[in-house]
A and B are shown apart, each in its own frame.
Chain A
Amino acid sequence: MTEAAARDPGFLSIAAAEKHFGPATVLDGVDLAVGRGEFVSLLGPSGCGKTTLLRIVAGLVRPDRGRVVLDGQELTRLPPHRRDIGVVFQNYALFPHLDVAGNVAFGLKARGADPAAIAATVARNLALVQMSAYADRSVKALSGGQQQRVAVARALAVGPKLLLLDEPFSALDRKLREAMQIDLKRILREVGTTAIFVTHDQDEALAMSDRIAVMARGRIEQLATPAEIYARPATPFALGFVGLSTRIPGTVQAAEAGLLTIATALGPIRARGHFLPGSAVLVGVRPERIALGSGAGDATGPAGPAGHNAIRAALADAIFKGARVQLLFAAPEGAEVQVEASSLPAGAAPGALLDLTWAVDDTLVYPAAEAGPQDLEAVA
């Protein structure tokens, strides 16, 4: 969180927002607080309610229940044109009958700003998004990335208290998307605008956000910094949705002073947590936390250093990813075992048995019931 955000953590606060479309519950009581100047991403699978939440904040959809407060002002009953919230729509929604400058000037004219001030503000905002050379162009003659820049300039020109962006980069190719991510961060830093950014691309969320709200089925599962979400996902859904992970179901055998021993199809695994013996749990490990050893010659079974877990598994597939290799292992029903390594270990042919070791402290445990089949489907 930035300094300003820490000073004013409830700059935007959404409380218990609920929305139903007919019998479908689209938002199921969402609470979200965003600090001043903060950049928060809403990350979640398609249909989880991200756009609906954004539209409620903008005033384009009326929530069935709940409140929206921005900068101390209750917004819930205010129409969108009195909210001071800029929106960059997924398809940009530029006005086709106006040129680039006309689009950027629209909000200022609607607010009755004086012509000289409008011209100066338009010029400043076009320069901000590096589109000054295109001021007189028709918006229909722009590429996707250029339209995107104009949409950002148009939204920022009126100096909104809050900027909402709904998957603004989803129509751009990968290279352009990465360039735009960096650009948008620079622009928002320069302007100091608070922003909520919707995406279903976890890399985008991890790269850009001060904090990420992981959403699933109309709820926020976790709201935390990217590093925290990656290292300590609060739910099996967050674990599965953000980043790669090894996931193995099991049953707690013993629990002593916060140290659990869990029986799994791949052998006992130890972890820190508080569960009663007999509880069904899901064990999770991030793939880069796992060290690989050759299990071929050792007949006594896998063994790691003290304070480590060790399992032995058969290599099923190796996916080359440039700087790293992703290794997939044969795993029983309901489990997924994968490791990321900097290179393929010697003798690692498909079918080879390898030892996987990782620190007990890196082992994540969740109640098994939380991992519904829908979650795993959504991840796939």
Chain B
Amino acid sequence: MMALRRIDPVGLLVLPAVLYLGLVYGLPLLNLLARALVIDGVPSVAGFVKFFSDPFDWIVIGNTLRIAVLVTLLSLAIGFPTALALARARGAAQALILVAIILPLSVGVVVKAFAWQIVLRRDGVVSQALVALGLWDEPQRLLFTEAGLVIGAANVFVPFMILPIYSVVKLIDPRLGEAAATLGAAPGYRFFRVFLPLALPGIVSGIAFVFSMAVSMYVVPNLLIGDRFQTLATLTGRSFLLMRNEQLGSTTAVVLLVLAVSVVVASSALSRRFGGQS
């Protein structure tokens, strides 16, 4: 009774979410873990040993991490300035940028990926632009290349970089920059010593969002690069759907889960350590 009474009634509000997640997410996850760790009814790590001893699987892990990191970096490079512009814009301009960011989210990944197929073709816009700028000697196909995958995936995920950064940056008091200026800080110093530390929590959550989505994306690589290039997510899909190898599928899924969760946990720890406001 005493223990019960100490529970904050407001805390009970999370109950529906806990039940829902527990049923549709927690239980299947346990099931997945069980399949990865139980072979023929006996607990065993043989599946993981086999997985990590195959050089091909290390290439898949490498592919997954490399693509996720590159997509995250490209999203950051595009998303950070956009978030600043969005935070500074007023009225109609701000509404327009917000719509431009949020509207594509409602289009759906498949449609967007098909659009990118057109853009990344040998005679597509990107190729033609690079030739016109003199960066390329002749048109090249970006579709079904890693570069094409990174460009396309960043396009899909960049709103999830922009929005958390924007929501933090718009709360930064502009007086702080002015105060720093009157104290003798040049623009670069103000950016790195005042603006960036205060924007960091937003940057970190943007990175966590985009990385965890990019590391586990399935549809986009399927449409933009195809079967020759495997990531942990596509390999998991193939194992279950094509090869009917539940053991391998569960193992890759667990590896992927551990990777994604550790990045999110590490980034939020970093944010707490360095973030000024939170």
Contacts and interface: CB of A to CB of B under 8 A. Distances in A.
A96 B276 contact: yes
B185 A97 contact: no
A60 B181 contact: yes
A106 B183 contact: yes
Interface in A81-122: 81-87, 89, 91, 93-98, 106-107, 109-111
B197 A81 contact: no
Contacts of B197: 97
A185 B197 CA distance: 35
Interface string B174-200: 011011111111110110011001100
A294 B95 CA distance: 70
Contacts of B175: 89, 91, 93
A81 B182 contact: yes
Interface string B40-68: 00000000000000000000000000000
A80 B176 contact: no
A97 B277 contact: yes
Given A93-B173, A96-B277, A155 B184 contact: no
Contacts of B193: 106, 109-110
Nearest to A81: B181
Contact of B183 (A91, A97, A107): A107
B185 A81 contact: yes
Interface string B147-190: 00000000000000000000000000101101111111111011
Contacts of A95: 176, 179-180, 194, 276
A234 B23 CA distance: 80
Nearest to A110: B185
A85 B183 CA distance: 8
A258 interface: no
A165 to B, nearest CB: 12
A82 B182 CA distance: 8
Contact of B180 (A58, A85, A96, A110): A110
A196 to B, nearest CB: 13
A154 interface: yes
Nearest to A79: B181
Given A96-B276, A96-B277, A80 B198 contact: no
A111 B178 contact: no
B182 A85 contact: yes
B211 to A, nearest CB: 24
A34 interface: no
Contact of B184 (A93, A98, A107): A107
B184 A81 contact: yes
B178 A89 contact: yes
Given A93-B173, A97-B277, A87 B185 contact: no
A158 interface: yes
B184 A60 contact: no
B198 A97 contact: yes
A155 B180 contact: no
A4 B189 CA distance: 36
Nearest to B176: A93
Contacts of B176: 93, 95-96
Contact of B178 (A93, A109, A110): A93
Contacts of A93: 173, 175-176, 178-179
Interface in B132-149: none
B184 A91 contact: no
B199 to A, nearest CB: 10
Contacts of A59: 181-182
Interface of A: 58-60, 79-87, 89, 91, 93-98, 106-107, 109-111, 154-155, 158
23 contacts: A58-B178, A60-B181, A60-B182, A80-B181, A81-B180, A86-B182, A89-B179, A91-B173, A91-B175, A93-B173, A93-B175, A93-B179, A97-B194, A97-B277, A106-B180, A106-B185, A109-B193, A110-B184, A110-B189, A111-B184, A155-B183, A158-B183, A158-B184
Given A81-B186, A155-B183, 14 more contacts: A80-B181, A81-B185, A85-B182, A86-B182, A89-B175, A89-B179, A91-B173, A93-B173, A93-B176, A95-B180, A97-B197, A110-B180, A110-B185, A111-B184
